[in-house]
């Protein structure tokens, strides 16, 4: 069975930083695509960034403009989302996701992923 456990969300002020974590169990961590998504109240779940681990390349949504960074620690089976220079429009529930199918294609749609974490709230307010 596959399980994703997220942590690291919270309430911060504009310009602050947060690092979200996603711990994976029940799957080969380095062999399948993973991604981060976010969903604001009343809006669709949108892509933030992802990595299919096939060549080490990470792909991001244009909206974050280089402020976020995805990394991983294979020994801990953990994927991270480092968020810097946070803005009020970054306020959302953040989810990590996993698709247990090998592919070299960039997966940027929520429908591309089979397994999801429970989400963690990020609130950016002055």
Distance CA 13, CA 117 (A): 25
Q: For residue 87, what pLDDT band results from cuts at 50, 70 and 90? A: very high
> Residue 106: what pLDDT?
87
pLDDT tens-digit readout, 15-64? 999 999 999 998 777 678 999 999 999 999 999 999 887 766 789 999 88
Strands (E), the chain: 3-7, 10-12, 18-25, 34-39, 46-51, 59-60, 68-73, 78-83, 92-98, 115-116, 120-124
The answer to whether 99 and 51 are in contact (CB under 8 A) is no
Dihedral over alpha carbons 116, 117, 121, 122 (to 10 degrees): -70
pLDDT tens-digit readout, 95-112? 999 999 888 888 999 999
């Amino acid at each position: 069975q596959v399980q994703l456990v997220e942590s690291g969300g919270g309430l911060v002020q504009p310009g602050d930083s947060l690092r979200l974590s996603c711990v994976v169990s029940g799957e080969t961590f380095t062999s399948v695509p993973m991604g981060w998504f976010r969903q604001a109240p009343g809006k669709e779940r949108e892509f933030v960034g992802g990595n299919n681990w096939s060549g080490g390349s990470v792909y991001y949504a244009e909206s974050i403009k280089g402020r976020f960074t995805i990394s991983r620690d294979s020994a801990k089976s953990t994927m991270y989302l480092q968020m810097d220079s946070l803005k009020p429009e970054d306020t959302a529930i953040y989810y990590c996701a996993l698709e247990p199918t090998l592919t070299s294609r960039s997966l940027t749609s929520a429908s591309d992923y089979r397994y999801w974490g429970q989400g963690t709230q990020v609130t950016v307010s002055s």
